[in-house]
Every structure is written in C-alpha cells, then in structure tokens.
Amino acid sequence: MTTRIVELRRGILKKNDELAAGLRASYAAAGVLVLNLVSSPGAGKTAFLEWTLTELRKRGVRVAALVGDLETDNDARRLAASGAPVRQINTHGICHLDAEMIGKHLANWEGVTLGGLDYLFIENVGNLVCPSSYDLGEAIRVVLLSVTEGEDKPLKYPTMFNSADAAVVTKMDLAVPCGFDRWAALKNINEIRPGIRIFETSVKSGVGLEEWLAYLEEQRKGRGHY
Amino acid sequence: MHELSIVTSIVESVTESLAAYPGAQVKEVRLRVGALASVVRESLEFCYEIAAEGTALAGSRLVVNVLPVVMHCVPCGQDVELEGVQSFRCPRCGEPCFDLRQGRELEIDSIEIEDGKEAA
C-alpha cells in the first residue's frame, strides 16, 4: 500500500477569480466604472441605489444596475423606476453573487452594452459574510451600514469591511432617534479598514449625497474613463 | 453560509487532479485558509462529509490550517502578524496598516492519497 502526498496549491475559488479577472478586463476596455454594493439585509442598498441612479440620469450620466436577490424581483422593479436599465439576478437561495452570474447576465442584456455605460452598479445579495469571497471584477466595493444596525458591525464582519474600498453610512436622518454613536462607528470602520473613504448619508434628508456623487466622478476621472 | 459551495469546489478540484492517479483513494485534504477568508472551520468540516459522499474523497479527513493576517507596517519597515482581526494596527508600533500580505487565502494545499499509481 503506497501513501503519497500530492502538492496541489490551488485556489478553491480559482474559477470565480479567473472569470472575475476576465470581467475586470472587459469593464476597463469598455470604460465603465463598476461598483459592487454590499451590506446586511435592510441596510438601505436599494433606496441608496434608487437615489443614485435617478440623480445620475438627471445629469445625463449613463447608468445601469444588476441586482441580486434570493427570490423576488421587488428591488429590480423599484430601481427600474429611475428609468435606468435594471436586470434582476435571482440566486434561488445562494447567498452571494458570483462572477459567472454577472457574466451571464451581461452577455444577453437586451439594449445594454458595457461600452454604452459610464457606471454599472451591482447590488449584491444582502449578506455581510459570503459576498466578500466572490470577486465580481468590480473596480470599487462599497459596503453600506445603516445607523439602525449598531456601531460594532465592522468589528463583527471584519472581512467584508476590510475588503471594501468605500463605506456608506445610511439613514443618517435616524441617527438621533436611534442613539447612533457616530464616533464609535467611524472609529470601528477605521480600525478595520484604516483610511477608507466614508460617506454619511440619508436619502430622506439628502445629507452626504453630493459628496458621494463627487466621489463617483472623481473615481471615473482617476481611472482615465473620461 | 457558503461553505457547502466551497467544499463542493474542493471535491471537484481534487477529483480532477485524481485523474493522474487512477484508483487512488484520498485519505486527507489539507487546506490553507486565511483568518480573513470568512469561512468557518466547523462548517467546512461538517459540509465536507456530505459533499465527499459517493466520491473518491469519501471518508477522507479535511485538515484546515488557519493562517493569521500579516500586514506590512510602513513605519516599522517590515511585515507584522496581527493577533486577531479586530484591529488593523501594527502590534509593534500601533500605527494603522494598509497593505495586506496574508489572510485571505482559500486554497487546497495538498492531498494524501493511497494506492495510486502515477499515470505515464
């Protein structure tokens, strides 16, 4: 009986990583800035994106969104009200989007080509754990945190917060009634991802949203998409 | 809870590499998992048994080697190992660290097989 050790040294998510690398190259070639929005369920991703799509369209910016959801197409219908092209991805129980799902939905999206877009937003499934492992080829990963969730979310989900490029605090209009400890939240985000750009926003009061739009523009310019 | 999809990928990947070792039985699969890989060792082990059933990996052991987070500290001019994932500051000088060098790995390191004959 022979026993042997075989060295494999193989990435478990290699297939996803390769597909994501292909997507990243096609986004760059088309000159579209792709953002992946992640948060826990109910943090306000859809409301935030609804506002962003509507406002960018008003300014003549070409935007579209892919939206992941376990079962329903409620979010896609809400986002479509902005007038932007929106496509639903139902994962049927899978807790995250992966590069293959993105590739498939981009490949046969009637009337939408990457080259015809300035920004593509991907609203991930509401989950602060699993989506962190799956690269979608995005240029920017945005993590959202609402004031109703508790200031220690970054400490509880360090992987997601550490892998994000920008953080958006949502529902700031509820900060006072919720007793939101702003300094603790900002400190915790910075402890997990030092130096990350943070936007404190509310789509109800409008606070912080101009800074967010300015950031989007700056990121596109910074990447030579203009 | 994406551990089941992860172990399914492990089983597929190992099964593929077994093509070079016809008739081999897998005894052990060793993983390298970074502390920031967001997978839970116990869940991996639990799901592994189910995913391995009916394959050449059935009955094999999954060994999960967890790697600590290593960051590069600019003021110290060296790579430093973090004690946990609650603070991304250098444990030596206390300054924030921006550059991750280790901690997101999710890899099959090696497998131990029995009775396999290497293909010509």
**Residue B61 belongs to what domain range?**
3-18+26-113
Q: What is the pLDDT of residue B120?
A: 44
Distance between B45 CA and the closest CA of chain A, angstroms: 15
Let me know if residue B35 belongs to a domain: yes
Inform me whether the pLDDT recorded for A78 exceeds 90.
yes
Closest listed residue to residue A67, CA positions, set A50, A43, A42, A51: A50
Total-model pTM: 0.92
Domain assignment present for A94: yes
| pLDDT, average across residues A111-136 | 96
d(CA A147, CA A183): 12
What average pLDDT does range A186-190 have in this prediction? 98
Please indicate, yes or no, if residue A122 is contained in any of the structural domains: yes
CB contact under 8 A, A9 and B110: yes
- Is A74 within a domain? yes
Residue A180 token pair: 């939101």
Residue A7 confidence (pLDDT) above 70: yes
With a cut of 90, say whether residue A112 has pLDDT above it: yes
Looking at the domain assignment, is residue B120 inside a domain? no
In a domain, B119, yes or no: no
Does B85 score more than 80 pLDDT? yes
* Residue B95 is assigned to a structural domain of this protein: yes
Domains of chain A: total: 1
Max alpha carbon distance in chain A (Å)?
Answer: 72
Q: Is residue B79 in a domain?
A: yes
The reported pLDDT for the residue numbered A118 is 97
Work out the mean pLDDT of chain B and round it to a whole number. Answer: 92
Q: Which among A68, A33, A40 is positioned nearest to A144, based on CA atoms?
A: A40
Mean per-residue pLDDT of chain A: 95
Tell me the ipTM for this assembly.
0.86
Q: Does any domain span residue B53?
A: yes
Q: Is B19's Cβ below 8 Å from some Cβ in A?
A: no
Classify residue A1: in a domain, yes or no: no
Diameter of chain B by CA atoms? Answer: 55
Q: Distance, in angstroms, between B58 CA and closest chain A CA?
A: 16
| DSSP result, B97-117 | --EEEES--EEEEEEEEES--
Looking up residue B66, the CATH number of its domain turns out to be: 3.30.2320.80
d(CA B20, CA B41): 29
A114 within 8 A of A8, measured Cβ to Cβ: no
Total number of domains constituting chain B: 1
pLDDT band at residue B118 using 50, 70 and 90 as cut-offs: low
What are the start-end ranges of the E strands in chain A? 3-11, 33-38, 63-69, 86-90, 119-123, 140-146, 166-170, 197-200
Using alpha carbons, select from B88, A151, A224 the residue that is nearest to residue A167. Answer: A151
pLDDT digits (tens, 9 = 90+) for A36-68: 999 999 999 999 999 999 999 999 999 999 999
Name the residue among A174, A226, A201 with its Cα closest to residue A50: A201
Q: How confident is the model at residue B1 (pLDDT cuts 50, 70, 90)?
A: low
Facing residue for A2 by CB, picked from B6, B107, B114: B114
Smallest CA–CA separation between B13 and chain A, in Å?
8
Q: What is the pLDDT of residue B116?
A: 56
Residue A183 domain boundaries: 14-221
- A5 in a structural domain: no
CATH number (domain holding residue A102): 3.40.50.300
pLDDT attached to residue A194: 96
